[in-house]
Structure 1
Amino acid sequence: MPASLLRVVLLWMLASSVYCGDTQSTFFEELKTHIVINTSRVVATLDETFLCATLDWWPSSKCNYGSCPWGHAGLLNLDLGNPLLERTLAGLAPFTIRIGGTLQDLVVYNVGDHISTEPCLPFVYNASALFSYTGGCLPMEKWDAMNELFKKTGVSVAFGLNALYGRSKSSDYNVVGPWNPSNAANFIRYTHDRAYPVTAWQLGNELLGAGIGKVVAPDLYAADVLKLRNVVDEIYQGDTTKPVIVAPDSFYDVGSKEIPKFLKSSGPNVVDVVTRHIYNLGAGVTETNELIGRVLSRVYADNEAAKYKSMQSVLQEYPQTTAWVGEAGGAYNSGHHQVSDAFIFAFWYLDQLGMASRYNNQAFCRQSFIGGHYGLVDANFNPNPDYYGALLWRQFMGRGVLVVDVINGTNDVRAYAHCQKDKKGGLTLLVLNYSNTTKHNLDVSLLGFSTPTELHNYRKLLADEECEAASCHKNTEDSSGSLRLEYHMSPANGMITSQTVLLNGQPLQITPTGQLPTLSPISVDSSSPISLDPLTYAYVVIPNAHAPACLVD
């Protein structure tokens, strides 16, 4: 194990013992940390439906490492009439559901010619078959019921189509021959004619580059996507808006050539959105302590940040194309119970949301909304801790993304700031404390820097030990008599593997009548520091920030 990772694991083990008792333990070190938010301009403007999660096709027979965590969470088995499903979806609206996953490239749609030529068969486990399953069919009655739910809850849909339909598959890893779009075209027309809320059509899942079962060459994939583009353009011809075309929903590493080759082969005005998947923490079977160490590791976060930056560099040559994170579960093969469904995973998930928005990704799709050990909600539709982190993001993180600089001698604190949702001039700050031993007292400066030199000079000023707060912190907000709203999130009983989260010390739970709980802040004088306990995070809303970049629509 690398020394840096070993240190993180050892720190987590210490945190486990500390958090068995009082989370406000008096022997925590305290450190003053400066956070500088550049309020002069936004560096990215997000779509309203940036928040996204997946619904997958896995049947109840899907198992990993002796655990079978999918139950009735798969699309064909999901209880669409459950009132808690409706409420949890509606709570995140406007919200995107990405329908897809490994088995999407086996699914046929029981519409058009398929009805008379082939039976509509369920998935059947077969260890020797592609993706270990045969069958897979979507009845239109099920599709109708899904869309009734989506319309009722304000959900937009990004639908992943079967890219292997009707094509030859060689005996090795490669796919040969063209994609047959006939079944997809019938399905798209059926969807269009009923005005279902599909705003994106995707083609294929993890078929480009490091595929999981089969690989399609970039030039062949580009030809397939052009067919999809033509189908969508024809069916939606004359409509005011039409869905975007999304591909390749594959993995991406810095310097890899498959996505650039695919985009070059596609040509202009074909691919609207390039998507990649993120499972950077490794397999769900990874031992608990080590996996938590990876969640808290700056190394893993920095490696992923490099991929975000690299993808933006690739897309500079294709200005008509934007980036999404199309599927992100952190730990592949269904996640890890009491890590990816627990409080600690906010330090991966919210950090990824922050990075994705900072690097101008227009959607981030969490794997999953329900299913596996990484759902935003559990098998009974009760919210897991990350659901509430997403809910606070939805309520307070607006479309405009600001640059944040954290200035101290450690890498413990990560911070992201957006214009406040639905409040001109306001802003919201998300801060996460990755230390298990240090309480950070955060001084926040809201400043407008027109040049990098100005920021550099300000950093030097803050580093001066003789610098007095009165002369060093020139906030643009009028803080006299002004209040900010703080939402501090911590684990129940101080256990970072807990599946119950506390908001300002109170547990968040579904009410006896089946409603989502009220998210109540504490009001704090804006001139005082933000106190962030070890291994906790907070959303801090500053309505009276008067941020220049947030005063415009």
Structure 2
Amino acid sequence: MWQAFENGTGANLTLVCLNEEEELEHIDVQRGILEAASPVFQAMFKHEGFLEKQSGSVKIREIHPEVLKSVLRYLYTGILSNDTNVPIQEVLIAADRFQVEHLKILCEEKLCRNLDHEKVLDLAFLAQDYHAKYALDYAIQGIIHNFPHVAMGTHLIAEKWKHFRFDSKKLINLARGLEPCYFRLGGTAADLAIFQENPLPYVRPSFSGVEKCFSISAWGQGACEDLSQLYQTGNFTFGKSDWIQLNDFIKTVGWKFLFDVNVLLRNGDHWSAANARSLLDFNHQQGFHGTSWELGNEPNAYFHKFKIRLSGEQLGQDFRALRHLLDEYPGYENSSIVGPDINGVRKCANLKKDKCKAVLFLQSVLKHSGRAIDKITWHHYYLDGHKATLKDFLSAEVLNSLQPQMDLIKRGLEASNHSHIPIWLGETSSAYGGGVQGLSDRYVAGFLWLDKLGVAALNKYSVILRQTFYHGSYALVNEQLNPNPDYWLSLIFKRLVGIRVLELKQGLNNGTLRCYAHCHRDISGGVTVFALNIGHRSEVIKLGNQLGNSTVLHYILSPPKNSLKSREILLNGQTLKLNEFKDIPPLNPIRTSKTTHLFIKAYEMAFWVFPELSLKICS
């Protein structure tokens, strides 16, 4: 076909490329091919203002002839030109202009494959201006730093938010400290929540056990193992005041909202979108844009939780229905859909991908969802919150259990041709079931958290959603709205660690000493190395030629009085806490020069910043 184009075979129309009013080139084409592939060309050829009947020509303004030929090559052959002299971003702009959607996608994919770190903002602006959703999502992952993001349970709505005070200066400052940050409202109760603009006062069901389930001190602590009764009669409502104050808080602290929609509102075998539509109507009316959406929570475990079954095929179709619903609202067509939030991958540690029920469920959802899902999510916890001990929190074997699960997910996505979709840890912490009381909110939990951030970055995970920001033994912020040790660890990580991962010698991250390296977040050419030592003796890290004799900023984290169960954490020997004005204090390092070795004592965590390396890859 392309040869026919080049030879002018069958041509019955001429495209005239104009720069202002100067004719640059005449291109002969077959009108029928262009009309079939582009609704814009079809409309132009029927409009007298574009088509000059006597000459049989159409004027094309402000598109370079070589760019137009790249578009035409695709229309004739279905192949994107590899001509490096034609800027691919210009082809994308032309494809958007002529509404050739698949060509746009090919251009976006090529831009993302060849993306330099320095060009990520340029890509974001280009993608935003020309409705390039795939490229925009990719670019945003580079702008919003990977690593700590936060989640909370929807059940807090039923508890009237308890001690979570949206107007608390202390809480606002703590939340702002973690921006940029996704905030997920989800969890088990997401599939019990129903939106009503003006809901009746919530009345808890009277059957046995529900009071325990809705107790803020017991939720997730084993009191709600069987929620089938709760599903039958325990749905609760949230209203416009809940939605407004939540969105206002998110805007105030600079977060991005990720909301988990109730998928168990069914119309026969299909998801009923009526309640979601009511929520979207109100959300659109209020001007709350930029929300990302989930559909259901841990759906492959619904029979265990609710005694109902939902197949991967049906859930995939439900995701498509959510995509169609969002597309009905102006400005929502680029809203991200995240899912399917599966769990249970840890049960498959010794199984192949084609034997793991969780991975098979994931593959089925993706197969039947079309292109509806923009980010793939699964949930990970190292331990059982009802059984784990201090020894488990210091176990290299426990830490090493994460990588095989990530490998299993990766192989499953490769086998189903979905490896191009970004992967998130959609809900994660030290131990499921609300965490381990007296451990998950103490200093020792930091080892599991810091190592998970390092491993996830090595595996190119773009978002890690920490369960939870508030509430439960695994929370970053406790019931009195004071930061737990993992909050400070997350804050330091956010400030020092950039998105580009650097390679270290093998063997440094599979035993009791575990090290990782990244470009610094803000210092051009700077490098951040972070490490944890779960062994009972001090370790020495010898710096190589590239890092040796450098200026180093030391951020050493340790427990007060060597108590691993401490609620506090020391930075270079000083307790981290908010100041008298409820503000986050300066995080001051110790500075050394001509450093050749790094030291980390038993049960310490550390960040070392090399600000003067001028490493080209980090510039």
With the length of structure 2 as denominator, give the TM-score of the two structures: 0.68
| 2:364 corresponds to 1:273 | no
Aligned to 1:138: 238
Q: Which residues of 2 match residues 165-314 of structure 1 at below 5 A?
A: 165-167=265-267, 177-196=269-288, 198-209=290-301, 212-213=305-306, 214-237=308-331, 242-253=334-345, 254=348, 255=353, 256=356, 257-267=360-370, 269-282=371-384, 284-286=385-387, 290-314=388-412
Matches within 5 A, 1:445-484: 445=544, 474-475=545-546, 477=547, 480=549, 482-484=550-552
Which residue is equivalent to 1:323?
Answer: 423
CA deviations over 1:3-39 (Å, ceiling 9, x no partner) = xxxxxxxxxxxxxxxxxxxxxxxxxxxxxxxxxxxxx
Q: Is the 8 A contact 1:425 1:546 kept in 2?
A: yes
C-alpha distance 408-182 of structure 1, shift in aligned 2 (>3 A): closer
- Tell me which moved more, 198-207 or 182-191: 182-191
The secondary structure found in structure 1 opposite 2:445 is: helix
Please state how far the C-alpha of 1:528 moved relative to its aligned partner.
Answer: 2.5
Deviation of the 1:298 alpha carbon? 2.1
- In the TM superposition, what whole-angstrom CA distance separates every residue of 1:369-424 from its partner, at most 9, and x where no partner exists? 01011100111111000000000011011111222235479822111211101222
Q: Secondary structure at the match of 2:292?
A: strand
Return the offset for 1:196: 2.5
Q: How many pairs align?
A: 447
TM-score normalised to structure 1 length? 0.75
Deviation at 1:338, TM superposition (A): 2.1
| Alignment deviations for residues 276-326 of structure 1 (CA, whole Å, 9 cap, x no partner) | 1112211x222xxx5222222222222211111222233332244211111
Counterpart Cα distance in 1 of 2:419 and 2:382: 27
1:108 maps to 194
Query: Given that residues 107 and 135 in structure 1 are in contact (C-alpha distance below 8 angstroms), is that contact kept between their aligned partners in structure 2?
Result: yes
User: Would the aligned equivalents of 2:145 and 2:499 in 1 still touch at CA under 8 Å?
Assistant: no
Task: Give the Cα–Cα distance (whole angstroms) in 1 for the partners of residues 284 and 494 of structure 2.
Answer: 28
Give distance in 1, aligned partners of 2:522 and 2:229: 45
- Partner Cα distance (1:149, 1:302) in 2: 37
Cα offsets for 1:102-139 (capped at 9, x unmatched)? 1110101114xxx5xx7463554743763747131111
SS at 1:500 equivalent? coil
Output the amino acid matched with 1:324.
Answer: W
1:337 aligns to 2:337 (yes or no): no
2:202 corresponds in structure 1 to: 121
The residue identity in structure 1 corresponding to 2:366 is L
Paired-residue identity, %: 25
Q: Determine if contact 2:509/2:516 at 8 Å carries over to the other structure.
A: no
Could you tell me which amino acid in structure 2 is paired with residue 223 of structure 1? Q
Letter in 1 for 2:607: Y
**Structure 1: 5+ residue stretches without partners:** 1-40, 62-71, 169-176, 446-473
Partner Cα distance (1:333, 1:430) in 2: 29
- Select 1:92's aligned residue among 166, 175, 178: 178
Q: Kindly provide the CA deviation profile for residues 456-491 of structure 1, in whole angstroms up to 9, marking residues without a partner as x.
A: xxxxxxxxxxxxxxxxxx21x5x55x4111110001
User: Residue in 2 aligned with 1:18?
Assistant: none
Residue 554 of structure 2 is aligned to residue 439 of structure 1: no
Aligned 8 A contact 1:120 1:139 in 2: no
Does residue 80 of structure 1 match 2:166? yes
Specify whether residues 261 and 142 from structure 1 end up closer, same or farther in structure 2 by C-alpha distance, changes over 3 A only. same
CA distance 1:125–1:513, shift in 2 (3 Å): farther
Structure-2 change in CA distance of 1:49 and 1:529 (3 Å): closer
Contact 2:145 2:498 in 1 (8 A): no
Amino acid in the other structure paired with 1:48: I
Q: Does the 8 Å CA contact 1:157/1:197 hold for their aligned counterparts? A: no
Whether the 8 Å CA contact 1:110–1:139 is kept in 2: the answer is yes
Cα distance in structure 2, aligned partners of 1:406 and 1:125: 57
Alignment-derived partner of residue 222 in structure 2: none
User: Residue 65 of structure 1 aligns with which residue?
Assistant: none
